[in-house]
Structure 1
């Protein structure tokens, strides 16, 4: 297909009548967009809630277990010098 044929095909496509658009297309798009925004907001809030719950659970665990301290020795040191 050379340039003149492409131009003729493009002109033919542009001269055709546009496809009919459903009358409620804008309202449907707005409704879907609002639904997506609400869903994202809900997911974001749930994720923050889970993150806060995990932080509280870790804090309570760390306060009770004290993982930063050295565990007590399981054996007694040898007694010398008696």
Structure 2
């Protein structure tokens, strides 16, 4: 099919009756949009909850483990009884 034949076929398609749009297309789109928004909102809330739980777990671990405190030296025994 050469270019002129393709153009003629495209013109025939465009000159036909306009395509039929389903009457409930708008309602379906609105329903899908609401569902997508609900899912995004739920996912965002779940991620915030997980981040807060991780931050709380880190704070509890840091308070119990005290990683900033230098561990006692174990290379020399303590001097007692002088």
Q: TM-score normalised to the size of structure 1? A: 0.80
Gaps of 5+ in 2: none
Report how many aligned residue pairs link the two structures. 79
Matched, 1:71 2:59: no
Runs of 4+ in 1 over 6 A off after TM superposition: none
Task: Give the whole-Å Cα distance in 1 for the aligned partners of 2:61 and 2:3.
Answer: 74
Aligned to 1:42: 42
Task: Give the whole-Å Cα distance in 1 for the aligned partners of 2:34 and 2:14.
Answer: 34
SS at match of 2:73: coil
Matches within 5 A, 1:1-82: 1-77=1-77
Q: TM-score normalised to the size of structure 2? A: 0.80
Task: Give the whole-Å Cα distance in 2 for the aligned partners of 1:53 and 1:2.
Answer: 64
Task: Give the whole-Å Cα distance in 2 for the aligned partners of 1:39 and 1:66.
Answer: 40
